[in-house]
């Protein structure tokens, strides 16, 4: 394992195109001037026994140190498959990982892990998931409102509801449990661009990967993923009330439309907005992609419609 501060040449590091990863989530750590990348890193994420989560570290979003094994389940951990889409948020001086887990005869859930370092090791905060009992849920994310109240925002799966849904619930200040009932934000078919998905004899409308952010004008937006006319895609929704409860107004066309998704936005240390996503949406070919985003007439716009896999589109 190499440490960035001791490396004289990028030749010793992995390139972005070398790393198989789905759902790439970037955590910039300003005091280190490093980016940490988390995601679904099991080689076979769809079935079989899950391994855990790995992370990578970079100074330039092109060359990466790692992998670092940031979570490996203890022998008594309840889940053993479908370890998906970890997000790491710095909250009240600790690092909290929201991730999806599943086991045979148990619903998919979002459970919270915690660590004192961005490289872990992450451990379960409690023994219970945050998403509702009996619901097939995934892709939980953290949102903190203007009053400082933390929320979990997550998807209820289309495999259970046919028309996938996105919900929000307030959390206790220590994030150990919810502090209110689920609030439905919207269904997949409220977005005009969403197309039907078919999988193993089932059909419906997907909701994946919600991620909330505020614009330079302090307006509340959400990225989320589904399937459009050109494959897996990312949509945009805006809260008309500027509050988590909405109502949420869907953009008529996808934000990113072609065979890539599960996105999030972050800002580089130079202040540039970036969209992180995986592309293509096919294992084991998926790679992280980082695209420049600009604000035009108070709306985020990707600088280029196409992407080069594994590369940032700097110009």
pLDDT digits over 15-35, tens only? Answer: 999 999 999 999 999 999 999
CATH number at residue 24: 2.115.10.20
Interval 109-123: pLDDT, tens? 999 999 999 999 999
pLDDT score for 303: 85
The CA-to-CA distance between both ends of the chain, in Å, stands at 32
Residue 311 lies in a domain: no
CA pair distance 167, 180, nearest whole angstrom = 12
Domain assignment present for 310 = no
Residue 315 inside a domain? The answer is no
Query: What is the band of 201 on the pLDDT scale with cuts at 50, 70, 90?
Result: confident
- Please state the rounded mean pLDDT for residues 42-66: 95
**Confidence at 47, pLDDT banded by 50, 70, 90:** confident
pLDDT tens, residue by residue, 169-179 = 999 999 999 99
In a domain, 47, yes or no: yes
Closest by Cα among 112, 116, 122 to 177 = 112
Confidence band, pLDDT 50/70/90 cuts, at residue 12: confident
Handedness of CA 305, 277, 103, 156 (dihedral sign): negative
Residue 309 placed within a domain:
no
CA distance 89 to 74: 22
pLDDT, tens digit (0-9, with 9 covering 90-100), for 131-152: 999 999 999 999 999 999 999 9
Could you report the per-residue pLDDT of 259-286, keeping only the tens digit for each? 999 999 999 999 999 999 999 999 999 9
> 315 or 172: which carries more pLDDT confidence?
172
Answer yes or no: is pLDDT of 7 > 80: no
259-to-23, 50, 169, 196, 213 alpha-carbon distances in Å: 13, 25, 30, 15, 23
Residue carrying structure tokens 């009932």? 181
Res 204 pLDDT > 90: yes
Query: Is there a domain that residue 308 lies in?
Result: no
Does residue 307 belong to any structural domain of this protein?
no
Q: Which of 18, 8, 9, 116 is nearest to 67 (CA)?
A: 18
Model pLDDT, residue 308:
45
| pLDDT score at 315 | 42
Domain count, the chain: 1
The DSSP-derived string for the chain is ---GGG-S-GGGSEEGGG---EEEEEEEETTTTEEEEEEE--SSTTSS----EEEEEESSSSEEEEEEEEE---TT-S--EEEEEEEEEEETTEEEEEEEEEETTEEEEEEEEEESSTT---EESSSS-SSPTT--EEEEEEEE-TTS-EEEEEEEPHHHHSB-EEEEEEB-TTSSSB-S--EEEEEGGGSTT---EEETTEEEB--EEEEEEE-TT--EEEEEEEEETTEEEEEEEEETTSSTT-PEEEPSS-SB-SS-EEEEEEE-TTS-EEEEEEESSSTTT-EEEEEEEEEETTEEEES-SS--TTSB---
Mean pLDDT of the chain: 94
312 domain-assigned:
no
Domain carrying residue 223: 4-302
Q: Which two tokens stand for residue 238?
A: 């805006």
């Amino acid at each position: 394992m190499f440490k960035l501060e001791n490396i004289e040449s990028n030749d010793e590091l992995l390139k972005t195109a070398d790393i198989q990863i789905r759902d790439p989530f970037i955590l910039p750590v300003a005091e280190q001037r490093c980016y940490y990348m988390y995601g679904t890193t099991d080689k076979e994420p769809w079935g079989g026994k899950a391994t855990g989560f790995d992370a990578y570290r970079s100074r330039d979003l092109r060359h990466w140190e790692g992998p670092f094994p940031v979570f490996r389940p203890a022998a008594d951990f309840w889940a053993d498959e479908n370890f998906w889409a970890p997000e790491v948020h710095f909250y009240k001086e600790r690092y909290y990982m929201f991730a999806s887990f599943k086991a045979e005869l148990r619903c998919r859930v979002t459970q919270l892990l915690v660590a004192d370092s961005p490289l872990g090791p992450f451990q379960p905060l409690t023994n219970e998931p945050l998403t509702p009992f009996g619901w097939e849920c995934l892709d939980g994310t953290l949102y903190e409102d203007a009053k400082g109240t933390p929320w979990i925002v997550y998807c209820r799966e289309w495999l259970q509801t046919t028309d996938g849904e996105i919900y929000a619930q307030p959390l206790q200040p220590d994030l150990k449990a919810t502090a209110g009932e689920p609030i439905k934000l919207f269904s997949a078919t409220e977005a005009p661009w969403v197309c039907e998905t078919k999988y193993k004899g089932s059909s419906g409308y997907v909701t994946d990967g919600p991620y909330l952010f505020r614009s330079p004008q302090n307006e509340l937006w959400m990225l989320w993923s589904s399937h459009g006319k050109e494959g897996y895609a990312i949509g945009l929704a805006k809260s008309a009330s500027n509050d988590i409860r909405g109502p949420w107004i869907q953009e008529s066309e996808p934000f990113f439309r072609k065979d890539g998704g599960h996105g999030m936005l972050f800002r580089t240390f130079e202040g540039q907005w970036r969209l992180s996503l995986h592309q293509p949406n096919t294992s084991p070919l998926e790679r992280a992609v980082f695209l420049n985003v600009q604000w035009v007439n108070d709306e985020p716009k990707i600088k280029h419609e196409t992407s080069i896999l594994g590369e940032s589109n700097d110009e």
